[in-house]
Structure 1
Amino acid sequence: MFCYQCEQTARTETSAGCASERGHCGKDATTADLQDLLVHATKGIAQYAGRLRALNAPDREADAFILYALFTTLTNVNFNAARFVTLLKEAATLRDAVRARYEAAARAAGQEPQVLATAAATWQPAADQAGLLLQAADVGINAGLEQVGADVTGLRALLLYGLKGVCAYAHHAYVLGEARETVFAGIEHALDFLAQDPADIPALLGESLALGTLNLQVMEMLDAANTGRFGTPQPTAVRLTPVAGKAILVSGHDLGDLQALLEQTKDSGIQIYTHGEMLPAHGYPVLKAYPHLAGNYGGAWQDQQLDFANFPGPVLMTSNCIIEPLPAYRQRIFTTGPVGWPGVRHVENHQFAQVIQAAKALPGFKATEPEQTITVGFGRDAVLGVAGAVIDAVKGGAIKHFYLIGGCDGAAPGRNYYSDFATQAPQDTVVMTLGCAKYRFNRHEFGDIGGIPRLLDIGQCNDAYSAIKIASALAEAFECGVNDLPLSLVISWFEQKAAAVLLTLLALGIRNIRLGPTLPAFLTPNLLGVLVEKFGIQPIGEAQADIRKTLQLEAA
Structure 2
Amino acid sequence: MFCYQCEQTDRTGAQQGCASAKGNCGKDATTADLQDLLVHAVKGLAQYNSLARAMGHADREADRFMLYAMFTTLTNVNFNAGRFVALLRDAGHHRDRVRSSYEAIAAAAGKPAQRPAGPAAWQPADDLMGLLAQAQTVGIDAGIETVGADVVGLRALVLYGLKGVCAYAHHAQVLGKENDGIYAGVEAALCFLAADPADTDSLLAQALQLGSLNLDVMALLDDANTGRFGAQEPGAVRITPVAGKAILVSGHDLGDLEALLEQTQGTGIRIYTHGEMLPAHAYPKLKSYAHLAGNYGGAWQDQQSDFANFPGPVLMTSNCIIEPRPQYRQRIFTTGPVGWPGVRHLENHDFSVLIHAAKALPGFIETAEEKTITVGFGRHAVLGVADKVIDAVKAGAIRHFFLIGGCDGAAPGRNYYTEFAEQAPDDTVVMTLGCNKYRFNQHAFGDIGGIPRLLDLGQCNDSYSAIRIATALADAFECGVNDLPLSLIVSWFEQKAAAVLLTLLALGIRNIRLGPTLPAFLTPNILAILVDKFAIQPIGDARSDLAAALSRKAA
Return the letter of the residue paired with 2:97: A
Q: Provide the residue aligned with 1:500 in structure 2.
A: 499
Give the Cα–Cα distance (whole angstroms) in 1 for the partners of residues 386 and 53 of structure 2.
43
Q: Provide the residue aligned with 1:483 in structure 2.
A: 482
Deviation at 1:555, TM superposition (A): 8.6
Name the SS for the 2:77 alignment partner. coil
Q: Provide the residue aligned with 1:100 in structure 2.
A: 100
Name the SS for the 1:238 alignment partner. strand
Gaps of 5+ in 2: none
Give the Cα–Cα distance (whole angstroms) in 1 for the partners of residues 266 and 124 of structure 2.
49
Name the SS for the 1:266 alignment partner. coil
Return the letter of the residue paired with 1:367: E
How many residues are matched?
555
Give the Cα–Cα distance (whole angstroms) in 2 for the partners of residues 53 and 117 of structure 1.
18
Name the SS for the 2:16 alignment partner. coil
Q: Provide the residue aligned with 2:67 in structure 1.
A: 67
Give the Cα–Cα distance (whole angstroms) in 2 for the partners of residues 462 and 525 of structure 1.
30
Give the Cα–Cα distance (whole angstroms) in 1 for the partners of residues 333 and 3 of structure 2.
27
Give the Cα–Cα distance (whole angstroms) in 1 for the partners of residues 76 and 13 of structure 2.
26
Q: Provide the residue aligned with 2:110 in structure 1.
A: 110
Q: Provide the residue aligned with 1:43 in structure 2.
A: 43
Name the SS for the 2:272 alignment partner. strand
Kept in 1, the 8 Å contact 2:485–2:554? The answer is: no
Superposed CA deviations along residues 423-480 of structure 1, whole A, max 9, x for unmatched, are 0001100000000000000000000000000000000002110000000000000000
Give the Cα–Cα distance (whole angstroms) in 2 for the partners of residues 445 and 33 of structure 1.
46
Q: Provide the residue aligned with 1:22 in structure 2.
A: 22
Name the SS for the 1:491 alignment partner. strand
Q: Provide the residue aligned with 1:201 in structure 2.
A: 200
Matched, 1:412 2:411: yes
Name the SS for the 2:429 alignment partner. strand
Q: Where do residues 313-328 of structure 1 align in structure 2 (5 Å cutoff)?
A: 313-328=312-327
Kept in 1, the 8 Å contact 2:401–2:428? The answer is: yes
Give the Cα–Cα distance (whole angstroms) in 2 for the partners of residues 257 and 458 of structure 1.
21
Deviation at 1:109, TM superposition (A): 2.3
Q: Provide the residue aligned with 2:383 in structure 1.
A: 384
Give the Cα–Cα distance (whole angstroms) in 2 for the partners of residues 473 and 173 of structure 1.
24
Kept in 1, the 8 Å contact 2:247–2:313? The answer is: yes
Superposed CA deviations along residues 109-153 of structure 1, whole A, max 9, x for unmatched, are 2321112122x0111111110110010000000000000000000
Give the Cα–Cα distance (whole angstroms) in 2 for the partners of residues 406 and 218 of structure 1.
19
Give the Cα–Cα distance (whole angstroms) in 2 for the partners of residues 10 and 474 of structure 1.
41
Q: Provide the residue aligned with 1:344 in structure 2.
A: 343
Deviation at 1:14, TM superposition (A): 3.0
Matched, 1:88 2:59: no
Q: Provide the residue aligned with 1:303 in structure 2.
A: 302
Matched, 1:266 2:265: yes
Kept in 1, the 8 Å contact 2:484–2:554? The answer is: no
Kept in 1, the 8 Å contact 2:511–2:534? The answer is: yes
Deviation at 1:15, TM superposition (A): 2.8
Matched, 1:217 2:216: yes
Q: Where do residues 79-158 of structure 1 align in structure 2 (5 Å cutoff)?
A: 79-118=79-118, 120-158=119-157
Q: Provide the residue aligned with 2:190 in structure 1.
A: 191
Gaps of 5+ in 1: none
Deviation at 1:554, TM superposition (A): 3.7
Deviation at 1:12, TM superposition (A): 1.8
Deviation at 1:13, TM superposition (A): 6.2
Return the letter of the residue paired with 2:76: N
Q: Provide the residue aligned with 1:519 in structure 2.
A: 518
Name the SS for the 2:409 alignment partner. coil
Q: Provide the residue aligned with 1:54 in structure 2.
A: 54
Give the Cα–Cα distance (whole angstroms) in 2 for the partners of residues 296 and 554 of structure 1.
40
Superposed CA deviations along residues 335-388 of structure 1, whole A, max 9, x for unmatched, are 000000000000001000000000000000001111100000100110011111
Deviation at 1:106, TM superposition (A): 1.7
Give the Cα–Cα distance (whole angstroms) in 2 for the partners of residues 418 and 521 of structure 1.
21
Matched, 1:369 2:368: yes
Kept in 1, the 8 Å contact 2:245–2:363? The answer is: yes
Give the Cα–Cα distance (whole angstroms) in 2 for the partners of residues 252 and 49 of structure 1.
31
Superposed CA deviations along residues 155-209 of structure 1, whole A, max 9, x for unmatched, are 0000000000000000000001000100000000000000010001100000000
Q: Provide the residue aligned with 1:252 in structure 2.
A: 251
Return the letter of the residue paired with 1:178: K
Name the SS for the 1:261 alignment partner. helix
- Residue 470 and residue 108 in structure 1: after superposition, are their counterparts in 2 closer, same or farther (change >3 A)? same
Give the Cα–Cα distance (whole angstroms) in 2 for the partners of residues 555 and 328 of structure 1.
52
Give the Cα–Cα distance (whole angstroms) in 2 for the partners of residues 555 and 508 of structure 1.
16
Q: Provide the residue aligned with 2:6 in structure 1.
A: 6
Give the Cα–Cα distance (whole angstroms) in 1 for the partners of residues 309 and 65 of structure 2.
36
Return the letter of the residue paired with 2:522: L
Return the letter of the residue paired with 1:390: V
Matched, 1:532 2:520: no
Identity %: 75
Q: Cα RMSD between the aligned structures?
A: 0.8
TM-score (norm 1): 0.99
Return the letter of the residue paired with 1:146: E
Q: Provide the residue aligned with 2:393 in structure 1.
A: 394
